[in-house]
Amino acid sequence: MFASVEGGPAGYGVLPIENSIGGSIHRNYDLLLEHHLPIVGEVELPVVHYLLALPGSSIAGLRRVYSHPQGLAQCERFLRTLTGVEIIATYDTAGSAKLVADEHLTDAAAIASARAGEVFGLTPLASSIQDYDDNLTRFLVIGRRPLPNTVPDKTTIVFSLPNEPGSLFKALSAFALRGVDLTKLESRPIPGRPWEYLFYADLAAARDELPCARALAHLAEFAPTLRTLGSYTRWKTSEGRQTDSSEVAS
């Protein structure tokens, strides 16, 4: 996806970054750092999971269930009810449905959206199998240019800190003293530097707003590295109809 946006033909890419049940999708944080495509927007969608299998299959006959690790984590309680079934993690929920269909796996099922079942000719053996009804996934939009008609009010940054007492406190105080709200803080290991970490933070302010700009300048005074991954419009549920995962194609 990153390659398609960087070199074409895609103008924008949408990647999942966090689920309300399964937590953060760490690989995608790493990809944001590896590439230089800014975040230009975000979307939150309710996720409804289905257990999909070939027509004629039954839950009693299942021996394997495929899905992305996040899909498996979001349906953990349902999966515990299955006996004698191997749970197999794959690269993608829709890809798991494709696998079951393409290889004609009569003893296997996939956890994916209703739309994936329609596309690949699978039948739902069970619906709404996620552990919680309020199962939401937050997606980031990346692109070479800003989305039209948007006004930034959220900023995502990544920074490192010296390994010394109080360094994280100093970093957070740069924002607290200026009234800039941190809505998320995530640490990730720095590749090749064991037990050293990067910190990803979401700020409830546009990068160019004076308090936020001053806080970032303050942080830059003692953070060895600081990079803005994007300043964009936060998702607002009142701005349009909410959609379930069966209506979203990856």
Identify the CA nearest to 122 among candidates 104, 141, 140. 104
Set 78, 120, 139, 175: catalytic member? 139
Identify the CA nearest to 188 among candidates 69, 27, 70. 27
Model-wide pTM > 0.75: yes
> Could you tell me the CATH superfamily of domain 48-134?
Periplasmic binding protein-like II (3.40.190.10)
For all residues of the chain together, what is the average pLDDT? 92
**What class has domain 151-232?**
alpha beta
Name the residue ranges covered by the structural domains of the chain: 48-134, 151-232
The pLDDT, as a whole number, for residue 134 is 87
Q: Which helix (H) or strand (E) holds 172?
A: helix 167-176
139: annotated active-site residue: yes
**At 124, is the secondary structure helix, strand, or coil?**
strand
Set 90, 137, 156, 233: catalytic member? 137
Residue 136 has pLDDT above 50, yes or no: yes
Q: How confident is the model at residue 177 (pLDDT cuts 50, 70, 90)?
A: very high
The pLDDT, as a whole number, for residue 238 is 54
Q: Six-digit token pair at 88?
A: 């197999």
Residue 246 has pLDDT above 50, yes or no: no
Residue 232 has pLDDT above 50, yes or no: yes
